[in-house]
């Protein structure tokens, strides 16, 4: 476990703390923002905890159907800095009293009300569908195919049973297998043991009749630090999502990361344009470059498609050659782990062809 002060939890926490008081905006509306923080349940795995928490956040969002919540534009916030066990909840209304009434109804549902199995089933189905779109993409959607391949690559990179391996192993089947009985036992236990803490402005918390946490009190934050397999060439099954090979470079823990501008231009990182590989890579049908923050670790990935008529032997040779390219080597040299953070993921067919 890592111990950090509340003030240092992350940028999203600071933003929410600064903007959580209902205040008039230019269009005359008022905003209320809360961070829901849930302590780790030692009775279950990180994987199970994250699945349950994801379903719970969707159920809380489902309170928009309630009369007291329907008018306040209740929504979840995307974290700028991932903190395990936290999600942001926000609402807007022209009337500050109605905004408080709306947030109180959502908080009451989270902390006290019995949950209906129909609400659980709907939220579980939503989370499973979102996971399926990420892990089982439509072959025609190249961006989602690259994301699915990145997930498979990270499963090969992180040591089995490590926190981040558990997180990346979550798929639609795992979510769909979660039972209502297990979920409600988990929820009631966390409520009874007081594992939920809500953070926001003092004014908003007092209006909601919630305790105001002392910002100077240290609190535990679950660490997702995970060992990785040694850098080098690994095998993965990216073929099944249409991305038979991938180069992955660890860039940073969450926060800012720097990629050389020349590299970003050449490989069209985070753009729809295809990467410019240069001559000598005729077996590679396409290449796309992305930087992504997955559960607090930032990776640079190059995903590759294979020319149908090319042999796996030639395709893999060219991917390996590209991994030694000067631009990639320079990026690796200035990354936190240097060459120890550089991985080449190839299909099993490459080993068979050799």
Residue 277's closest CA among 244, 304, 249? 304
Closest listed residue to residue 210, CA positions, set 36, 4, 86? 36
Per-10-residue mean pLDDT, the chain, length 354: 34 38 53 92 95 97 92 85 90 93 96 97 96 78 89 97 96 96 98 95 94 82 93 95 95 76 86 82 93 90 95 96 93 92 95 58
pLDDT attached to residue 228:
97
Q: Which two tokens stand for residue 122?
A: 């709907």
- Show the domains of the chain with their CATH numbers: 2-135+171-221 (3.30.830), 232-353 (3.30.70)
pLDDT value of residue 214: 85
DSSP bridge pairs for 300: 249, 291
Burial class (CB in 10 A: 0-12, 13-18, 19+), 221: buried
Model pLDDT, residue 215:
79
Cα-based distances in Å from 262 to 40, 121, 160, 258:
42, 48, 35, 12
pLDDT for res 203? 94
Q: Are 204 and 90 within 8 A, CB to CB? A: no
Structure confidence at residue 354 (pLDDT): 52
Q: Tell me, what's the pLDDT at 197?
A: 94
Return the pLDDT at 139: 66
């Amino acid at each position: 476990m890592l111990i950090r002060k509340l003030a240092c939890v992350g940028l999203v926490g600071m933003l929410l703390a600064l903007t959580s008081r209902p205040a008039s905006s230019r269009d005359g509306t008022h905003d209320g923002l809360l961070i829901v923080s849930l302590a780790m349940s030692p009775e279950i795995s990180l994987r199970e905890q994250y699945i349950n928490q994801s379903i719970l956040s969707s159920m809380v969002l489902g309170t928009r159907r309630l009369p007291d919540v329907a008018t306040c534009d209740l929504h979840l916030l995307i974290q700028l800095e991932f903190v395990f066990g936290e999600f942001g909840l926000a609402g807007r209304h022209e009337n500050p009293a109605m905004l408080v009434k709306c947030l109180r109804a959502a908080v009451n549902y989270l902390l006290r009300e019995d949950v209906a199995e129909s609400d659980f089933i709907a939220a579980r189905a939503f989370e499973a569908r979102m996971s399926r779109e990420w892990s089982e993409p439509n072959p025609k959607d190249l961006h989602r195919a690259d994301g699915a391949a990145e997930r498979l690559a990270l499963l090969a990179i992180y040591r089995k049973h490590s926190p981040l391996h558990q997180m990346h192993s979550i798929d639609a089947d795992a979510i769909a297998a979660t039972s209502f009985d297990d979920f409600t036992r988990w929820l009631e236990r966390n409520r009874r043991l007081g594992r939920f803490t809500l953070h926001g402005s003092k004014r908003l918390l007092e209006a909601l009749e919630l305790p105001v946490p002392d910002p100077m009190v240290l609190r535990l934050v679950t660490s997702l630090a995970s060992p990785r397999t040694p850098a080098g060439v690994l095998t993965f099954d990216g073929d099944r999502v249409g991305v038979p090979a991938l180069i992955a470079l660890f860039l940073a823990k969450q926060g800012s990361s720097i990629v050389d501008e020349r590299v970003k231009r050449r490989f069209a990182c985070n753009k729809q344009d295809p990467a410019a590989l240069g001559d000598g890579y005729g077996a590679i049908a396409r290449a796309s470059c992305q930087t992504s923050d997955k559960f607090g670790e930032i990776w640079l990935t190059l995903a590759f498609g294979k020319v149908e008529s090319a042999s796996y032997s030639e395709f893999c040779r060219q991917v390996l050659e590209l991994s030694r390219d000067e631009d990639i080597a320079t990026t690796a040299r200035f990354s936190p782990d240097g060459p120890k953070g550089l991985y080449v993921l190839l299909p099993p067919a490459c080993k068979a062809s050799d």
